[in-house]
Amino acid sequence: MPKLAINGGTPIRTEPYPIWPPVLDAEIEAVNRVLREGQMGRITRFGNGGSNETDKLREAWTAQYPGKDYALPCSSCCTALELALRNAGIGPGDEVITPPSTWVASNLAPSQVGADVVFADVSPDNYCLDPEAVEAAITERTRAILLVHVGGYCARMDEMMAVAERHDLVVIEDCAQAQGSKYKGRFVGTWGHFGCFSFDVGKLMPSGEGGMLTLDADDLAGDWIYGTCGHAGAQIDALAEGRHIDGWNYRMTELQAAILLAKLGRAEEEKWVRIKNAEHLRSRLAEIEGIGDVPHDPEQTYYSFMFKYDAAAFKGVHKRRFAEALAAEGINKLFSSPSDQEPAYRSAYFNPHGRDYSNVFCPVAERAYEHEAIGISGVEVLLGPETDMDQIADAIVKIQDNIDELISSDGQ
């Protein structure tokens, strides 16, 4: 009689994970308040102060995550990435270095402003952009580094900023999966020149859609304003010194801002619940042969919990087959790689104009996707009780103990 759930046995976990995102009374009341006031959208201004929801969100964000002069609510993280590039003056003829182990939005952003994407490999410890690989990829056309804090794990920002300083490059942090993470005591999104955050429905603090751009005053008066169509009030007019400024409407709505204000107060509490659960899970996984650790700083949040899979300890069973068996045991909130199923330069979603990436090969990223990296969604899974963490470890042990059964079912 089979023991593994993938072969018809009883799974370790039979209950579904909680639906994400939860909708609580605070969010419902926030939306109702905005609707009652008849202010679903307003023309907003840069700077602190004001009575509408987006102004309140700006103030609350910079108070909770200090380190930048401005927090600008946008329509999405994609918008924030594009605005960062435009405010940095990056366009046709320029090169932007990005990592391949990320959702392709981070790689497509440079092409939205006409720049060329250059891929650099990731660090073997946590799959974030490697500063040494970045420096090796720099050419005379390189203008910016667009890095991603994958899953809440942080790139080595002190080393990255040193590379940028040596070569006079702009640094843009994609923090879509890392809201609240700190690197060496400093919040992500405040190390680089620009920080970009996501409030997509699957992110740590969702409002359906939405984003945030963080930056300093020195980087604010570029040639691009996020709304309204080049006009942003007297403060920007003064900074612009009479120059014409292009712009478009990338603003966040009042409804989104109201939801986010209600969620922001819980963000740090949820972060520490995830961290506590992840540390318990890490201690359990350390006891299992063939399951390796992905180092994680105690002050970094978890969008996903990543571990390294060594097929040799599972009699050569491929990572993806192992992931299928794990999902059958009810541990089904899985990423079989840091982000999608293959490096971004091979993704069907990555289609920049007029450049061939068929010869690009980043060996660390390739190994992570094909053989090594497995992620468990930390968004909802790590908010559960400690017993949920034990189920994950128990399921891996069960598969390992019955690996011959899995191999036999595959006809090997």
Where do the H-state alpha helices sit in 249-342? 254-285, 319-328
Alpha carbon distance 90, 253 (integer Å):
27
pLDDT tens profile 343-353 = 999 988 887 77
Residue 89 scores a pLDDT above 60: yes
φ, ψ of residue 196 to 5 degrees: the values are -125, 130
pLDDT band at 232 (very low <50, low <70, confident <90, very high): low
- Identify the three-state secondary structure at position 123: coil
Quote the mean pLDDT of the chain.
Answer: 89
Alpha carbon distance 360, 342 (integer Å):
13
Beta carbons of 291 and 307 less than 8 angstroms apart: yes
φ, ψ of residue 7 to 5 degrees: the values are -105, 10
> By mean pLDDT, which of 122-136, 228-242, 267-281 is the weakest?
228-242
- Identify the three-state secondary structure at position 375: strand
Whether pTM > 0.85 for this model: the answer is yes
> By mean pLDDT, which of 12-26, 76-90, 166-180, 236-250 is the weakest?
236-250
Distance of CA 305 to the CA centre of its chain: 13
Question: Both tokens of residue 223?
Answer: 């040639």
pLDDT band at 238 (very low <50, low <70, confident <90, very high): very low
Structural domains in the chain, CATH included, are: 5-16+265-409 (3.90.1150.10), 25-261 (3.40.640.10)
- Taking the chain, what is the end-to-end CA distance rounded to the nearest angstrom? 19
